[in-house]
Structure formats: C-alpha cells, structure tokens
Amino acid sequence: ELKVEQNPLFLSMQEGKNYTIYCNYSTTSDRLYWYRQDPGKSLESLFVLLSNGAVKQEGRLMASLDTKARLSTLHITAAVHDLSATYFCAPRRGSEKLVFGKGTKLTVNP
Amino acid sequence: DSGVTQTPKHLITATGQRVTLRCSPRSGDLSVYWYQQSLDQGLQFLIQYYNGEERAKGNILERFSAQQFPDLHSELNLSSLELGDSALYFCASSVRPSLGADTQYFGPGTRLTVL
C-alpha cells in the first residue's frame, strides 16, 4: 500500500525567508499533486507533476518531482503571510486513488 | 470556486441517525470522489464513481454508502451515526481517472457534527 510522509508537519517561518517542504512516498507513482487548504476551507489544487524531473512554479511556490527517489519538494521563496495554510502532497499511480500526506501546516509570521 | 457544489454546508445530528450528503460535480466531469477529513485520521479516500458506476473503494465503513445518478450528481449516505463520524466530508470531481493530469477539484465540504 502506498504510504506518504511529509516533512515537516509544522513550519513556522518569518516573512521573506525561504523553506522547503518534503514529500516522500513508498511505491512507484506516475503523478503527484500538491494542494493547499486554508483553515475550515476546501482543498485548492496547486500543482500536478507528471514526470520525473518535472518542475512547476507559481508565484513564490515551486514544486519538483524525482520519481526515482520517490520524492517531491515544495519550495517557498520569500514567504509572505498569505501563504499561511496547510499544504498536502498526494501521489497517484495510474487511475488508483490519491493518497494524501498528513499535511504541512505553514505559518508565516511578520 | 472549483465548480463542485456540496449541500448542506453544515449538518448537526444525533447518534444513530441517518444523513445524506449531496454533491454536484463540475460541468463535464464524469468522476466523483468522496473523502473524509478528521483531525485524527487526516484525509481519507472513501469511494469513487465514474459515469454512474462504482470505480474504487477506500476506507468506507459498511454503514456508509454512495451512488452516482444519471445526471452525474452523487450522494453519500451515512447511517447509524456515531460520534466518531463527525468530520468534514469532501466531494471532488475530475474528467476521467486515467486521463492526463486528471486533477481532482474539491467542493466546499459538508461539516458533519454528531452529538
């Protein structure tokens, strides 16, 4: 069974700083998704990574995928308060179900 | 706004009762997924339907059932409710499970409180 581990689970950082969230998964997957969730709200799709070496960027967030290492990263550049949220990664193999990590709760402090 | 709608937004009920949660997928999406989110279990996949047929099952209890109707809306039925069923229930939809990126778009959720 596919297992997903996100690190760290809690991240408190200052505005303007950089940081990386890690997503490790246990078995081969051909796609990986990143979602954002604000408290009490729904999940918003951020990125879909479809192949080894894929990199996608949107604003201050950049996601990458290394299928050989079974690792995806979400890099935050020059964090701002609006990025405070919980971030989930979810690998997927073929048409199988998404398996979500426990999430990384990010708090950006002024 | 993802285009996925869910009703009701909030539901408060008592143990032993039965409730129905409703989901309308995005226009053009054939696949519907149900998830449960709780503090202790995280985000758990419950069940998936594709074009009216059950496609995959996850950690769905026998007290729970779902269906997808010809107009593609879906309902999740929860019966003999227990305190531990209190959670956020999300519906998501996508075009087709194995087609390209096939991003799942999530609805706003139904918050169920069992007293």
Contact criterion met (CB < 8 Å) for A95 and B109: no
> What is the gyration radius of the CA atoms in chain B, in angstroms?
13
Q: pLDDT tier at B98 (50, 70, 90 boundaries)?
A: low
Which residue does chain A place closest to B100, by CA atoms?
A: A50
Over residues A13-42, mean pLDDT: 94
Q: What is the mean pLDDT of residues B47-65?
A: 93
| B81-95 tens-digit pLDDT | 999 999 999 999 998
Angle, vertex CA B49, rays to CA B43 and CA B51, nearest 5: 145
pLDDT reported for residue B99 = 60
Q: Poorest-confidence range of A30-34, A70-74, B7-11?
A: A30-34
Cross-strand pairs, A33: A48, A90
Using a CB-CB cut-off of 8 Å, the residues of chain A touching B56 are 95-97
pLDDT of residue B59: 84
